[in-house]
Amino acid sequence: MRQKTILVVGDYGERAPYHPLDGVDTLLTRTFSEYLVSCTGNYDAFQEDFLRGYDLCISYLDCWDGGQARPDALSDSQVGGLLCYVAGGGKLLNLHTGIADQGRYELAQLNGAYFTGHPPMRELVYQPRESRHPALRGVREFTLQEEPYQFDFRFGTPVQMLMEYTYEGNRYPAMWEHSFGLGKVMYFQPGHTPQNLEHPMVQKILVQLAAYLTR
């Protein structure tokens, strides 16, 4: 039986002022030990011919400039490759900062929402909203010291909200999914540090997310 494959694309060193892939790559490789995992900082991995060989693509991009997404971060061929991959049946998981490709409106639409910013990091309580979803089976409420990412669903994409976090008495999206052509896109908000990704509930969700998206 063919071993399923996962591609993780992010940024290393000075290219990642807020969320370097350093350390996260090792942790994700260990988390997805049943898969053949490749991690890269080369955005050419989004080329359609390259992506086609992977069962799941995980974006941990950190292409922010002063807190704003860089519109020139990805080339036309990289954008087109990612869109074609998902529309043709590929699976994309945007992990925490992975939504940073929103500098290109085509990719912001692919993501299903637009990141608008976040208040200072603080303790957040996460609650599953759809506990019967395969990615959330057995997941209980948990707490993390995390960045309260906030979003604008301006594109009208019909997303299914799966998890929320509580901030100052209000609930905000922490996980969603939607279809894009023949493929599927999911977003999972925790992940500012490798330590946050090591939380037992986050680990459980990541493993179940991968199984769900590569089934």
Q: Who's near 183: CB < 8 A, 6+ residues apart?
A: 85, 86, 87, 88, 89, 90, 91, 92
Tell me the pLDDT tens digit for each residue of 175-192. 999 999 999 999 999 999
Pick the CATH number of 5-213 from 3.40.50.2000, 3.40.50.880, 3.40.50.2020, 3.50.50.60: 3.40.50.880
Q: What is the mean pLDDT of the chain?
A: 96
Count of alpha carbons within 13 Å of 197, Cβ hemisphere only?
23
Q: Give the residues across from 54 on adjacent strands.
A: none
Give the DSSP per-residue string, 60-110.
E---EETTEE-TTSS-HHHHHHHHHHHHTT-EEEEEGGGGGGGGSHHHHHH
Tell me the pLDDT tens digit for each residue of 28-52. 999 999 999 999 999 999 999 999 9
Q: Find out whether 58 and 11 touch, Cβ atoms under 8 Å.
A: no
How far are the Cα atoms of 121, 123, 124, 186 from residue 144, in angstroms, in the given order? Answer: 10, 5, 5, 20
pTM of the predicted protein model:
0.97
